[in-house]
Structure 1
Amino acid sequence: MGEFELIRTYFAAAPCAQGGEGIALGIGDDCALLAVPPGEQLAISTDTLVAGVHFADPCDPFLLGQRSLAVAVSDLAAMGANPLAFTLALTTPTVSADWLQRYAQGLNAMAQRCGVGLVGGDTTRGPLSLTVTVFGRVPAGQALTRSGAQPGDLLCVGGDLGNAAGALPLVLGQRSADAVIAQPLLAHYWSPQPQLALGLALRGKATSALDISDGLLADCGHIAKASAARLVIEWQRLPLSVALLAFLGDDGAHAAALSGGDDYVLAFTLPPGELEPLLADGWPVHVVGRVEAGSGVALLDAAGQDITPAVGGYQHFRQAP
C-alpha cells in the first residue's frame, strides 16, 4: 500500500475528516483552509509522541489513537479555546492494515468526542512516532495564558491528580491490580479527557492557566516564571482518587500527583471571589494552594514546613545526576 492510498483508506475517509464548522477546505490539497470569525484568534499547538518514550510499544492502537489526539487537544482547553481542526504526521516502520484501522478508529472516536476535524498531515516510513497539531479559536484578548497570576490568587486544579502516573506500572506490566483499581487508572492514561468546557468557563475568571503534562510541581513552575510570582502548593489539599490511594498508598499517590505527569487536568490561578460561582455551577475546582509575591514553586506540609523536592517533574533532556 502506498502513502496516498494509506491516507485515503484510513484517514481521509474517517468521519472526523469530512469537514465542519470553520473548515473551509480539508484533506486533498497542499494546504487546509480554516475560517476564523472576525474578532477571534487562532490557537495552535503541536505534540509529538514517540514509541518507547511516550507510550509502550507494542500497545493497543485504538487506545493510542485516542491518547495521541487527546493530549494535543488538552492544550486548547488550557487556552480557553474552542477546538477547530487538527493535522496528523504519522511515521511508522511498517504498513499493517489492522494496526492502521484500529489507530484510525481510536483517533476518530476522540476527534468526535472533542469536536475537532482532521484536515491533513503526512505519512512517512521510520520509527513509530505521531505528531499532532491542533487548531482552535478564541475571542481576541480572552485566551488563558501562563502570565497573569497575581499575589492573593488561589491555585486550583480541575480534577484528581496522579492517576496517569499511577497507571504507568500497569501499562508497562510491572504490576497488576484488581479491575476496580486498575480500570480507572488505565482509563485516565489511555483516554484523558481534555477539559475543554472548563477552559471556556474560566475565560474572564482565571488569571493564568495551563494543562498538567509534566507534573504539578514542574508545570506550576511555568506559571510562576511567566507571572513573576511564587506558587505555594499544600500537600494535604491535593485531590487524589480512591483508586490511586489504594494502588500506591498515601505517599506514593502524593508523589504521583506532584511529579508524575500525564494528568492533562487544568491548573489555574483564580481570584478568591471567582471560586464560589464556579463551584455553584458544578465545575470540579479544587484549591491546592495560593499565589504569593516572590518566585518559584514551594511545597508545604500540613505544618507549613517547606518540603519542596529538588526535581519537580519530567524533562526530556535533563542530565542524569
Structure 2
Amino acid sequence: MLAEFDLIRRYLMPSQKLNAKDGVALGGGDDAALLVPQANHQLAVSVDTSVVDVHFPHDAPAFAVGHRALAVALSDLAAMGADPRWCFMALTLDQRTFFDDAAIHAWIKDFADGFHSLCQQQSTTLAGGDVTSGALSIGVTVMGEVLKGRALTRAGARPGDMIAVTGALGGGAGGLALWQRGERDLKHPLLRRYLLPEPRLAAGVVLRDMATAAMDISDGLLADLAHLRAASKVGAIIDVESLPLAETLIESLGLEEARNAALSGGDDYELLVTLAPENVVNAQRDLRKQGLALTVIGQCSETLGVEGIAPYSKAGWQHFNEGTP
C-alpha cells in the first residue's frame, strides 16, 4: 500500500496548485496551512465526524461516503449564512476491510472523487489533512467567511416569528430505511437524499439578511428545533400537516411514518429558520429563484415547549442518550 504522504498527494490534495485567489498562503505539505481571510469578515468554523455504521453504512459507495462527509460539515456553514472557503480532512482507514492493495486504491480514489467534486461545486478548497489507520471514519473541518455581525445564529427568534424549512423533510430517514431493506439504486430520490445530501449554502446566504435565527436539520426537526428554542427562549406551535415531505416518502413509509421521519428522522440537512412574518414572501421568492422551496410550518410563541405535534413526539437522534433534548 502507498505510504501515508504518497496517498495524500496522489488522492486527497487538490490537483491544482493553490494560490492567492484560494486564500491559501501555504497549503498541504507543511505542519500547518496558512490561510488569508478577507478583510472585515469573521470566520465560521465547524467540525464534523462521520463514522462507519453510525453515520453511513459500511457498504455505501465510496463516492457517496466522500461526498456525504463534506456535505454534512458544510451544512453547518449554510446555517450560519457563511460563504465556504476552506476545509481540512482527517481520514482514518481500516485496511483490514479490503482484499488487496488494488481494492484500497479503488476505494480511496472513488472516495476522493466524491469529496473533491463537492469541493469544486461549493467553491471550497481542501487546504490540508491527515490519514491514519483504524476503524473507518472521516473528520472534516470546514471554514467559511461572513461579514462581521451578519452571521445567523440560533438565538435570534422572537415570539410571533414564523418557523420555516427549506426543501423537503424525511428523505434522510426514508433513504436509510430503503437501504436497510436492500435498495441500492442511487437514482432513487430517497437514497440520494440520504447518501448524497445537498448542503443549502446558497440558501443560507439568501436567508442571512431575512431570518432571525437558523440552524441545519441534522438530528431531526424536533430535536433541532429544541436547540433553537432553548437558545432563543421561545416556544413553538407546529402545523404537522404543513410539513413538506420528501418525494416518494409517503409511498415508501405511509403517511404516519413519513411524518415521523420528517419530525424525528434526521439526516435531512435542510435549514430550519425563523422569520418575521413580513419577510416570508420575499424569502420564498428569492429561494424559488434557486429552485428551492421555503415552507412555513409553524410560529414561535411565548409559551415554552412545542404545541401541535402529538402524537408525533419521538425524539431525534442523539449519540449517547435517548429522549427529547
TM-score normalised by structure 1 residue count: 0.92
- Give the equivalent residue in structure 2 for 1:236: 241
- Give the equivalent residue in structure 2 for 1:287: 296
Q: Does 1:120 align with 2:123?
A: no
**CA–CA separation in structure 2 for the residues paired with 1:115 and 1:296:** 39
Structure 1: gaps (5+ residues): 301-305
**CA–CA separation in structure 2 for the residues paired with 1:100 and 1:211:** 29
1:14-33 correspondence to structure 2 within 5 Å: 14=15, 18=18, 20-33=21-34
Following superposition, the deviation at residue 312 of structure 1 comes to 2.1
Q: Secondary structure at the match of 1:38?
A: coil
Following superposition, the deviation at residue 294 of structure 1 comes to 2.6
- Give the equivalent residue in structure 2 for 1:278: 283
1:288-307 correspondence to structure 2 within 5 Å: 288-300=297-309, 306-307=310-311
CA-to-aligned-CA distance 1:269-317 (integer Å, 9 cap, x gap): 00000011122332521000000013233334xxxxx5452x3201000
Following superposition, the deviation at residue 47 of structure 1 comes to 0.4
- Give the equivalent residue in structure 1 for 2:260: 255
Change (3 A) 1:115 1:8: same
Change (3 A) 1:76 1:13: closer
TM-score normalised by structure 2 residue count: 0.91
**CA–CA separation in structure 2 for the residues paired with 1:60 and 1:242:** 22
**CA–CA separation in structure 2 for the residues paired with 1:202 and 1:307:** 31
- Give the equivalent residue in structure 1 for 2:109: 101
Change (3 A) 1:34 1:275: same
Following superposition, the deviation at residue 21 of structure 1 comes to 2.9
Structure 2: gaps (5+ residues): 96-100
- Give the equivalent residue in structure 2 for 1:184: 189
- Give the equivalent residue in structure 1 for 2:98: none
CA-to-aligned-CA distance 1:203-258 (integer Å, 9 cap, x gap): 22101000000000000000000001102211101001341111111111101000
Aligned residues: 310
Q: Secondary structure at the match of 2:86?
A: strand
- Give the equivalent residue in structure 2 for 1:317: 320
Instruction: State whether residues 220 and 264 of structure 2, in contact with CA within 8 Å, keep that contact through their aligned partners in structure 1.
Output: yes
Q: Secondary structure at the match of 2:211?
A: coil
CA-to-aligned-CA distance 1:36-94 (integer Å, 9 cap, x gap): 12211000000001111111112210111111100100110000000000000000111
Following superposition, the deviation at residue 13 of structure 1 comes to 4.5
Q: Does 1:57 align with 2:58?
A: yes
- Residue of 221, 226, 249 corresponding to 1:221: 226
**CA–CA separation in structure 2 for the residues paired with 1:224 and 1:5:** 48
- Give the equivalent residue in structure 1 for 2:6: 5
